[in-house]
Structure 1
Amino acid sequence: MAAVENAYREPTYGNWRRPRKAGIGTLGGLATAGLFVGLIITVICFFVGGWAAGLTALVVLGLLLALVSVTDKHSKSVGERAFARLAFRAARQKKANIYRSGPLGLTPWGEFQLPGIAAGSRLHEFHDSYGRPFALIHLPSTAHYTVVFGTQPDGASLVDPEQVDAWVANWGGWLASLSNEPAVVGASVTVETAPDSGARLRREVESNIHEDAPDIAKAMLREALQTYPQGSATIRAWVALTFSAAARPGGKRRTVEETARDLASRLPGLTERLESTGAGACAPLDAQELCEVVRVAYDPAAARLIDEAHYQGTPVDLSWGEVGPTAHQAGWDSYRHDSGHSVSWTMTGAPRGHVLASVLGRLVAPHGDRPQARHAAVPAHRGRPRRGHRRIRPDQCAHAGLLDHPAHGAGLVDARAAQATAAEEAKGAGLVNFGMVVTATVLSPGPG
């Protein structure tokens, strides 16, 4: 009997490249300009002051170049790290890292205003062409508008690898379609893993218990309500799209109403295509839902109160001026806000090798020994408008060809990646700058 061979192999993903600086070597554009200016000054010192002055100027120039050219594994130079330390120290001396809001705070209008760049943001609510309300965040300082979609990811448990591959391909296609969407400047995905209060489960079970059900069945359900929420977790995901106020580069800026009318007809198509990526049911968040999400992010203890209010049928009424923190204090390596203490890690480099579609599975999965709340944000910001984008699979580019001259292993891999990228872009793909921020939030920092 002939053996049955399964020809399917789970695809790998990769071919990402770090953007190169517009300068000589590791120097940026400004540092390169400083290099030429320094060389000119050094030559002048040689002619005017002689060898001693020239050598002194050359040594000073070399030290300055070392500060901006010698980088660590995170591609941060000595000068950048020193400047960041000095800037934070100056901010702490001015107490700019401390924020107090509300009627007894420092804000003159007595509201719980959002801190930082979101302080000047405004929240509006409109309806799309399906009649669904959607919240629209307006940031006047940058003339940007943001819409947030709530999703219900299906997850990869008991799902065929072929289906997961199709979801990833559809996600790449959805990102590619954003290049054809007018005025889109960025997209982000946020996955949150947090403890479940059990209010939603209790509401679902108690609403379905029949009065004539057997006593043993009722007892089992009530026992499950008491034991299941302990240690359980809830996973939520949101997708945010940011649009420019100008329909095209250099065009006239539109008002809030004009932008809302334009987005009202485009949101249904965006949500339908997003559902094919494994995001599950997708709908834009209304103003109240968005206020609850932001409020819980700053005050994790409020999640249980909000869930209990929904369970009891009590409406939660929050405005945009009430979702900010009552108090926060930013440290060098931590951030304290209301009932939460947070620490964030920023991705400084993509994996060097190829990865599977489940590479972030352990990161976003609930763990009993992990912090009580964790936010994983995966921004995917679109750079220059291109014809599209999709994640390149190296197994599709196995025959990209080799260089005609000898090269080291790293250079050869880099050349293959460049050739594969050029081939994919010629077929209609595009380039996307992406990054990732992981934030762990706990209610108490604990000892040490």
Structure 2
Amino acid sequence: MSAAAYYWAKFAWRRASRAEATSFRRVLLPHPYALDLPGVGASSTLIKAHDPTTGRAVGVVHDRTTGYMTVTTLLAPGGSLMAPTGTVQSSLRTWSSVLDMMSTDEQIQGASVTIQITPGAGEALGDDVRARQDPGAPRLAKQIIDELVRTTPHATASVAPWMSVTVDPQAAANAPVDLADQVAEALRVVDSLDLSGTGTDIERRATDIDLRRIVRSAYDPDVFNARDAEFADLQWSECGPQAADDSWEEYAHDGGVSVSWVLREMPRRPIAYSVLLPLLAPGRFQRRVTISYRVLDPYEGEAVLEREISHAHHRAQATAEFKGRAKWSQKADYQRAETAAAQVASGAQVVDWTLMVTATTRSAADLPAMRQELERAVKATRGIRMRPAYGAQASVFAAGLPLGYNPLVK
């Protein structure tokens, strides 16, 4: 982030703050936007659809401004740390094929994968162990299990992963006119994405109740463990905050205060597939890690890499004219751009992506501790560089939720 971009964002945020555009209060007044979600979710609405393939209800988020529809798939929490290296490489190749499929489908505008880690107090671990314990097990085995439960009371966490795909149903060859046909077209496009072999298991399509729970519990963490019946009668606008203040480096909402960071730079060296493990490890505070994707079509991807080659060449040439030689980092950037262009010429695709992390605490007094925990987790990745989302805390907060907002989708 250049100095000019930083100070311009600071100026724009202060201007919005003086106009009271960074504060939200949900009041029941005869206002045309009184029943909308705040910020980037204002144009979204929730549609309860019926999936004929499974016979279950499906929640579809409709953006009334663009006409895009977002379908969320709940995934089963798992990992590949114990899997053989060949299995992991096969999963990566399969995921690459899924992204390749997105680039050739004009209806898919973008996708995001989110993993939410909510720390637990440990009671759930003890209850689960007692329910599954064999009464006829050896005494030594029972003692070891009881000791593990007793010594790790705060190491449990609830892990909730999901994948959201944004679809433009109007981009079909025969564009549907009716809203029901548009929802059916969006579900058809999402069903065409085959995630088998990517290392993850699909649990089911998110229902309207699932989406209400995810969004409402993000703004108010106290209702995270509430029953489904408490979310069934909620309006979509009621899932948002009752009050929120978007500050320069934090976002205060109903039941807590959140801090969001965004990707600054990836390491310039090859990284292991477990690089995000420190960010996904349970901590004291709730955390959401989101990777957003937008796969460029072949022509746009080739144009982007050609611009990268030209920019790297001009930067190295300007430095050489001023200092007598170009920097080694500039030469390395030029070589990487040429290598990527050669891969695209051989059939590879270009993916525009970003990484976002949001941590939430229920007390403003814990903000320093939460920032320190998040900073340590980022440093533990050994190479990934992130920074606070200056002046965009509310937007990055919403980008990790299934609200139909993807910062990479134009």
Q: TM-score, normalised by structure 1?
A: 0.66
Structure-2 separation of matches of 1:326 and 1:229: 33
Aligned to 1:46: none
Give the 3-state SS of the residue equivalent to 1:276 in structure 2.
coil
Aligned to 1:377: 290
- 2:44 matches 1:128: no
Contact 1:346/1:438, CA 8 A, preserved across alignment: yes
Distance change (3 Å), C-alpha of 1:182 and 1:207:
farther
Q: What pairs up with 1:357-376 in 2 under 5 angstroms?
A: 357-367=273-283, 371-376=284-289
Contact 1:344/1:439, CA 8 A, preserved across alignment: yes
Q: How far off is 1:337 after superposition?
A: 0.6
Structure 1 gap segments, 5+ residues each:
1-73, 390-405
Structure-2 separation of matches of 1:286 and 1:198: 28
Q: How far off is 1:231 after superposition?
A: 3.7
Aligned to 1:319: 235
Q: Which amino acid aligns with 1:445?
A: A
Give the 3-state SS of the residue equivalent to 2:221 in structure 1.
coil
Give the 3-state SS of the residue equivalent to 1:177 in structure 2.
helix
Of 64, 68, 72, 1:140 maps to 64
Q: How far off is 1:259 after superposition?
A: 1.9
Q: How far off is 1:319 after superposition?
A: 3.0
Q: How far off is 1:351 after superposition?
A: 1.8
Structure-2 separation of matches of 1:338 and 1:424: 48
- 2:354 matches 1:438: no
Contact 2:296/2:349, CA 8 A, preserved across alignment: no
Distance change (3 Å), C-alpha of 1:221 and 1:347:
closer
Structure-2 separation of matches of 1:107 and 1:196: 41
Contact 1:129/1:264, CA 8 A, preserved across alignment: no
- 2:161 matches 1:242: no
- 2:210 matches 1:297: no
Of 261, 268, 280, 2:201 maps to 280
Q: Which has the larger radius of gyration?
A: 1
Give the 3-state SS of the residue equivalent to 1:277 in structure 2.
coil
Of 137, 153, 170, 2:94 maps to 170
Q: How far off is 1:181 after superposition?
A: 2.6
Distance change (3 Å), C-alpha of 1:102 and 1:354:
same
Aligned to 1:232: 156
Structure-1 separation of matches of 2:215 and 2:357: 17
Count of residue correspondences: 342
Structure-1 separation of matches of 2:175 and 2:33: 35
Give the 3-state SS of the residue equivalent to 1:296 in structure 2.
helix
Q: Which amino acid aligns with 1:89?
A: R
Q: How far off is 1:286 after superposition?
A: 0.8
- 2:172 matches 1:256: no
Structure-2 separation of matches of 1:275 and 1:362: 26
Contact 2:45/2:63, CA 8 A, preserved across alignment: yes
Q: TM-score, normalised by structure 2?
A: 0.72
Q: Which amino acid aligns with 2:263?
A: M
Aligned to 1:344: 260
Aligned to 1:114: 37
Structure-1 separation of matches of 2:268 and 2:37: 38
Q: Which amino acid aligns with 1:376?
A: V
**CA deviation map 1:328-376 (0-9, x unaligned):** 1111111001111111111122222221111111111113xxx411111
Contact 2:257/2:364, CA 8 A, preserved across alignment: yes
Aligned to 2:78: 154
**CA deviation map 1:254-283 (0-9, x unaligned):** 44312222233343342xx22421222342
Q: What pairs up with 1:32-43 in 2 under 5 angstroms?
A: none
Give the 3-state SS of the residue equivalent to 2:170 in structure 1.
coil
Give the 3-state SS of the residue equivalent to 1:413 in structure 2.
helix
Q: How far off is 1:148 after superposition?
A: 0.8
